[in-house]
Chains A and B, each alone.
Chain A
């Protein structure tokens, strides 16, 4: 039986929901298993992320959900024009979430949410063909959010709360396509910063149209992470003088550590959707619009006078999600879902640090009720991307870097739901 289950999970998992850019859509086992839907699905404390307005509709006084994922992603690249190829060897990244709600009374619930909706971990082979754009990047942001949820009528509620974000970034790339020190070591720059903080908010509303049918909407604000106190390390440049040198039109910075400023937007997101329950079945539909157009460029200004301007020119993008749930027994709830995730990256801006094109996400999962209070939730996501021929045409020497890309991601997750 176990084997059959695993096999069927594997078959189901032929696509997954993983959002474009550096958005990581993994904010709850139950939601993910249903195509990462949940803006109108009143089921667990996962609502703290998906729609805090719904917290007040939860049946129990105390609700909590916690869990994590292991993201195994990989990207293969090749350029048939030159015969070069490379594959990422990215370490597993582990997005997590922790949600809780407490019903003060029938009309007000309080909540707390901790989650990681943005991040990127990509590790290409050092000095690979695109190393002038990225060798490796690690980007993570933790959102911490107190929440309040009000029931305005038996059918309508609102909720929301301020978001405190703390982020960190580590990004290494080579200075250009060829510069080395005299020993042939490629000149490179690493920027590193942690504890970059800022504030934002999210608000949601929920409307119970009928006993079986619920509508919901949720908006999370844009938050811009501005890095000012980090360090930039210049290494293997053929210049140890402590000051930049200029030869002809080329300026070569000195090896050493300097400061930098950069800003990275975490875009706003609006989700609307519905949830319909009948007998043992649940069906969710969510539509998410992510306002990526705020990400115009990645500009890094170094304290040593160097500057790195990298146009990104992202466009707003949509995610279309559908999820199903089926109560197989008193103890077991089976879930499956699908989403289509539009990439915010426009043609000609396809940079290998976030090599995402449109993707199909296939999800599955189940909850197993252990006791009146506890349930174990598991989910499984496989994101499949179409192979794509794309390029980044804005390398600062005027060249273009491109080829054929194919990405995939495999994300198992496990969590716990508690209610009292």
Chain B
């Protein structure tokens, strides 16, 4: 019996000895260095971009490919610890509050009857109910929809405020208490390393609303802001600084991201301004319908009520071929209509106008099914909420430039790693970024970088951002964290 045991032990030794072992195994640690950073407790703070939100929803596989999750996977090679996320309950996306759906399901790419692919909301029942509060803490503190000042707002996770918009259903799911703030829940974990990407929604909600919100520059009380307003740059600077300080209280370092240009994301660049194809006969007919409007403009210009420039900009002219969409522009001069009331404040779009992705399903359809001349974009103008006109873009750009100056200043002041996501997204939009199986671009649905909501990245897009963060971290802290291969990350999901 003794011998038997001895031989058993010997065989075990022999079998173990035959396991192939590399000379310098990554698995045993020691291959990569964390430099002067300590990745043992990594906490990611931010909005939807931090949460792994994609395809217009938060769903499990999206969260599993969030950029902080990808980062944490690489940090684990150099002392990084566990990384927990407040995972939702399914891959359907969508949220329920007490059984009632309050956020829609995710988009998937499906083929229509003609075999053309397009985004549709996935059918199925959402199961993630925000009344089911998870017990944290969670390393991923990304809250979809959060603006800079929301992270420091007590009660942002209080379910009582969801219906009125005072709180956030995603934070309700994992706030430590009804009066907790996102930043206090993050800081309470004593992060040794953090990421912060916040401020996008401070301009983006204005942009995606077609500029229907208010530029609150000068108003220092964010509690008075509407959901689609632009945050005052001083408010941003103040809360951003306090967030950095709260995280730096325990951290050895962190990585921060600046705010990309809205013009670099497909939500604003996919629908062309001249999306209306017409034949000569139809064009002539449409011009006939606008003859009175055009004539009125000419008269008001002659009278000096509007400039010749405004007259030219507003004069509607359709031709055979591709034509610019007719849009509402609230900055145009309001003119009396000889027939009563006022003339519509409309003009044809130019390349400087950004038509929202959501107009793609409206353009060319009839506003009034009984009226064949009510084609949206031709006989009926696209509304203010459908288009981001240059004046609105300018408000956004001004606020964005100020936010980015704040971010960069605080980056330098605190010795943080900095990801110029603005430059990265511009590069994706302009030339694309090549990888080992092609080129990643911003082109909607097919470019690979952006998910089907046109705003949030795909897993591959998030992986690319994670790689840029790793590069910045290695440079700043002298670490040697390896990058991931973005070709191993998925793009848009097809469903058939």
Contact = CB atoms under 8 A, between A and B. Distances in A.
A398 B436 contact: yes
Contact of A76 (B22, B91, B109): B22
B462 to A, nearest CB: 13
Interface in A371-385: 382, 385
A85 B487 contact: no
B488 A85 contact: no
A126 B288 CA distance: 67
A130 to B, nearest CB: 10
Nearest to A238: B494
Contacts of B21: 76, 406
Contacts of A395: 437
B278 interface: no
A184 B122 CA distance: 15
Contact of A74 (B18, B111, B459, B482): B18
Interface string A385-415: 1010000000101111000101111100000
16 contacts: A72-B15, A75-B20, A76-B25, A80-B482, A81-B485, A85-B26, A178-B489, A184-B64, A238-B493, A238-B495, A247-B109, A247-B111, A248-B446, A385-B20, A387-B23, A398-B437
Nearest to A78: B26
A311 B5 CA distance: 49
B117 A248 contact: yes
Contact of B496 (A73, A76, A179, A245): A245
Contacts of A399: 436-437, 487
A246 B494 CA distance: 10
Contacts of B61: 180, 183-184
Most A Cβ at <10 Å: residue of B31, B32, B485: B485
A164 B490 CA distance: 46
Interface of A: 6, 10, 72-76, 78, 80-85, 87, 129, 177-180, 182-184, 238-241, 245-248, 252, 382, 385, 387, 395, 397-400, 404, 406-410
Contacts of A385: 20
B117 A387 contact: no
A182 B495 contact: yes
A415 B132 CA distance: 64
A166 to B, nearest CB: 30
A184 B494 contact: no
B237 interface: no
A83 B20 CA distance: 18
Nearest to A177: B488
Interface of B: 10, 14-15, 17-23, 25-27, 31-32, 60-61, 64, 74, 77, 91, 108-109, 111, 115, 117, 122, 436-438, 446, 459-460, 481-485, 487-491, 493-496
Given A74-B18, A74-B20, A238 B496 contact: yes
Nearest to A184: B61
Contacts of B490: 178-180
A87 B493 contact: no
A410 B18 contact: yes
A72 B20 CA distance: 11
B493 A82 contact: no
Contacts of A179: 490
Contacts of A178: 459-460, 487-491
B15 A407 contact: no
Nearest to A246: B115
B91 A247 contact: no
Nearest to A92: B15
Contacts of B14: 10, 410
B485 A82 contact: yes
A238 B110 CA distance: 10
B438 A398 contact: yes
Contacts of B108: 182
Contact of B117 (A74, A82, A247): A247
Given A182-B493, A397-B438, 13 more contacts: A10-B14, A74-B20, A76-B20, A80-B26, A82-B482, A83-B32, A85-B26, A85-B27, A178-B459, A178-B489, A179-B490, A247-B111, A407-B20
